[in-house]
Structure 1
Amino acid sequence: MNPVFLKLIEVKWKLYGRLGAWLLLILNFLFNVFWTTVAISVSVSRDSTHRYILPQDWWRVLLVVLALLLTVEEVRREVQDIRRSRRKLRLWRRWAQRRLHDDLRCSHPMWPQERVFLLDKNKQIDTMRGSYSRDLWNVFDWLVYSLLAVAFGVHMADVFHPSSSLHTATLRLFSVTVIFLWLRLMKHVRAFRLMGPFIVMLGNIVGDVMRFLFLYAEIFIPYACSFWIIFGGSASVPSMQSVPGLLYSLYRITLVDEYEYAAMATVDSVMAPLLCGTFLAASSVLCFNLLIALLTDTFQRVHDNSQANAVMQQAAVILQVEESMPALRRCYDNRFISNHCSPLADSHDAEDTTNPRYHDEMGRINAQIKVCLRKTSSKILFKEKFRKVQRDQNQTQMDQNQKQTNQTQTDQNQDQELHMIRAELQQLRTLVQQLLQNRTDSGPQI
C-alpha cells in the first residue's frame, strides 16, 4: 500500500479513530449484554402467569428499558447512515451524469460506438447502489434488529396475554437472536489490527461454506431418499421413524458419531453396509476434506495480506466514525493534518526504506524488485561485455581486411610499375636495334 495513505490512516486513527472505535465497541458490548440478560431472564420459569412481578422484578424492567434505548440509538445511527449514503450517491450521480452529457455532446457521428458506450454507462449509474447497501455488515445489522423486534414483540404479547405457546416462541426467538447478536460484535472488533485479518477471514469463509453446502446437499439428498426407502418408518430403526430423525441421523453419520448400524443391518444386511459405507466415504472423507482444503486456501490468502487487510478494516471503521459520530470529530482540530502533517517530519532509515510494522508487504516487493534489478543489471553487463568483445573482434577483422586490401592494392601498383618498366625496356631495346640498323646501313661503300 502507498505509505502516504498508510500514514494518513495512522494519523486519523490516533487523532480520533481509536477513541471512536472503543466507544462503538463498548456501546455494542453493553447492547449485547443487556439483551442477553433480558433473554436469560425471560427463560426463568415461574409458577405465576405474570411474567413480571413488581417490585421484585424492577431490575428486569430497567434492563429492558436500557436495551430498548440502546436499540433506538443504534437504529437512529443506521438511519442517519442510510440518509448520508443516499445523499452522497445522489450528488455523485448528478456529477457523473453531467460529465457524461458533456461527453455525449462532444461525441462524433463517425464513431457511434462511443455514444453507445456512454449511454450504457449512464444506465449503470442509474442502477448503482449506495455504499451503505453494499456493505454486508449493514445488512447483518438490520437482520439482528428485525430478530430483536420480532422476539420482543412476541414477548410483549406473552406479557399482556400469557400463554405457554407464546412463551415457548419467545424463548426460541431469543435463543436464535442472541447468537446473531454476539456475531454482530465482530463488526466493531475488526478495527483493531490484531483481530482485523481474522474477521476478514471469517467473511471469506462464508463463501467457501456455501460451496461446501451445495456439494454436501448433492450427496445428502439422494442418500436421504435411499435411507428412507430402505429404513424409513421402520420400528426396528427408531432414529429413522420420522423424516427429521432420519436427516439428523445422516448428519451424525457424516460426523462419524454413533448411529444404529446394528438395527439397520437387521432390517437389510445387504443395503446397510453399502449405504453406510458409501455415504461415509462421500460425506466424511470427500466433502469434509474438500472443506478443509478450501478453508486452508482462504486462510493462506488472507494471511499473506494480513497487514493490508487490517489497515483496510481500520480505514473502514475510521470512515464509519467520521460519518456516524461527527460530534467526536468536531472535538479535534479540523486543520490538524494541514498544520502538523504538511509536511510531516518522520524518522527515516537510509537502509530500511519501509517501516516493518506497516509496510511488510512493500518491503517484500522492494526486495523482489532489488533482486530482479540485480539480475537484470548482471544480464545487461554481460551483454555489454559480449558486445564489446564483438566490436573488438569486428574492429580487428576490419583492420585485417583493410591491411589485406592495402597490400593487394600495393601489389597491384607494383605489378603495374613493373609492367610499365618492361614496356619502357622493350621500347628502349627496339630503339637501340633501330639505331644499330641505321648505322649499319649508313656505313662506307667499297
Structure 2
Amino acid sequence: MRSPVVVTGMGVVSPFGLGRNTFWENLIQGRSAIRPIEVFDAAAYKSSLGAEIPSGIRNNLSLRNQAGSPEEDATFYAYLAAEEALSDAGLGKSELENLGAQAGLMVGTLCSSSRNYEILGRKYFQGDLNGQTPVSVAPTLVAYQLAHLADRLGISGPASLSSTACASGTDALGFALDLIRLGRCELVLVGGGDIISEVIHAGFNSVFSITQDCLRPFDKNRSGFAIGEGAAFLVFESYRSAKARGANIYAEVAGYGSSNSASHLTATSKDGSGEARAIFRALADADCLKEQVDYVNAHGTATIHNDRSETLALQSVFEAHSPHLAVSSIKSMIGHCMGAAGALEAVATVLSIHQGVIPPTINFQEREDYCKLDLVTNDARKMQVRSALSNSFGFAGNNASILFTQPQ
C-alpha cells in the first residue's frame, strides 16, 4: 500500500496582492482583479486587459532584496510564494539543507524570462547594444527560476522544470507526487511563477483569445480570457514525514493523470476525449469513484472551444453524477496565469476542501444548452468538499488533472 502524500504548506502572490489569505478572501468574495495593463502600452491591441501583480509589489525594492534580488519578475513572485509556503509548513533553509537529497523542487512555468527577451530584442533591433547586452544572460533562461529558488532556499535534491504550456503547473504537481511515492523525496516544494509580457499578450490577441469585456467561463456569450500573472507554491510531503514533525495537513494529494489530445497545436479536442483521458487517469490513480468527487476547479478559460471541450469531457467521465458535480473557474477573477495557473488553482482547490467553500465563476449570465454540470456562479457556495479535481488543458494537446481529498 502506498504511503499517502499530503499538503503541509501553501503560498501565493496573485493579482490581488501578497499572500494566500489575500488570494482566498478575494476569491470567495467574487472580486475581479482584471483591469487595463500597466506594465507595457497595450493600447494598440484588440484588448488591453490583464490581471497584473499590483505595482506596489512589483516595484518594492525591499521585497525584491528579500527575494535575493532576482533579475526576472516571475522568479521574484515565485520566491515570495515559495517563502510563504515553507513558512506555512514550518520549514526553513536549515531544515531543507538537512534533508539533502530528500528535499526536491518542481517548477512549472511558461512565460518567465519573456520580458527579458523583449528588452534584449528591442535593443538589438534599435542598434543599441554596442557590444553590451542590456540584461545579463542568466535571467533570459527559462530555467533561471528553478536555479534561483534551489540556490536561495538550499534545496539540493531532485529539481526539474515543467513547461507544457497551460498544463505546466499541474504537471509539476504530478511529478512532485511521483517523486515522493517513488521514495526519491520525503518533501517537494512545487509550484511556479509566470508573468504578462507584451509578446505573449500580442500572440493571444492575434488568435482572438483575449476578451474586450470580462471573463465569463461556461457562459453562452463568453468571449475569451485575459492573461494573468502570479505565483503559487505548495509543500508536498510524505504523510510519514508530516506526522513525525507534527505538521498541519491541509489535504491529501490523491491522484494525477496526464494525456495528450493529439489533435491540434492550439485547439482542444472537439469532443473532449483527450481531456477526459487525463481526468480518468487521475481518478484511477487515486482509486476514487466518480461519485466521490464533489468539486472541479475547471481550466475554464472562457474561450468557445475550451469550455465546450471541458464540459463534454467532464460529462463523459462523470456521466449521471454530472448534475451533482460542482464546477467553477477562478480564471473569471484572476485571468489565465499561464504556466502558474495550475499551482494557483491547486491552492484554491485545496482551500475549498480545507475551508468548505467553493469560489464562484463570476460574470455568469446564461448557460449553454449542452451543459448539465452544477455550475457555481457569481456567489461562493458553502459545502463539504470530500474530493476535488483541478484541471489544466494547454496548447499542443497537453492535459493534466490532479485530485485532492480530505486528509484521512
Q: TM-score, normalised by structure 1?
A: 0.24
User: In terms of Rg, which structure is larger?
Assistant: 1
Greater relative CO, 1 or 2 (CA 8 Å, sep 6+): 2
